[in-house]
Amino acid sequence: MVENASLRKGAMLGWVLSAIVILALAADAAVDLFAPALVSAEIEATGFLIDQARLLGLIILVCAILYAIPGTAVLGAILTTGFLGGAICTHFRLGEVGSPPQLISLFLGALAWGGLYLRDQRIRALLPIRSAID
């Protein structure tokens, strides 16, 4: 009974973490899709054309939607991690090591997988965390 309550609490925390990721991705996608002029300087500074903002926004939105749907959440997490890894690499290439965009991307990637780990038994079975005492 205690284990069931613990699993439910873990799943709820997983959904909270996942919601943070989904909201952050959706907000980023919305800006890229509907107000690309707001981020034009940042987009161009990373070497992308402002005309590509809407496509980037669409990619981010697809990642967020796939991650939000339980049946496709693993695919969404993989795609989100790939996208965020590309963002980290882009800023690394620009010499912006440890920059806010890199740290935010790293944080969101960790939250995405942490949230999925807590809310999906299949991920916990695939990647069991064992204590150092075991």
pLDDT tens sequence for the chain (134 residues): 556 777 788 889 999 999 999 999 999 999 999 998 888 888 888 888 899 999 999 999 999 999 999 999 999 999 999 999 999 999 899 888 888 889 999 999 999 999 999 999 999 889 888 755 65
Q: How far is CA 102 from the centre of its chain?
A: 12
Q: For position 102, what pLDDT does the model report? A: 92
Q: For position 3, what pLDDT does the model report? A: 66
pTM above 0.75, yes or no: yes
Q: Half-sphere exposure of residue 41, counting CA atoms within 13 Å on the CB side?
A: 1
Written as six digits, the tokens of 31 are 């800006």
Query: Is the separation of the CB atoms in 106 and 88 below 8 Å?
Result: yes
Exposure string of 65-95, with b = 16+ CB inside 10 Å and e = fewer, is ebbbeeeebbebbebbbebbeebbebbeeee
Q: For position 132, what pLDDT does the model report? A: 59
Provide the H-helix boundaries in the chain.
Answer: 2-34, 40-45, 53-68, 73-93, 100-119, 121-126
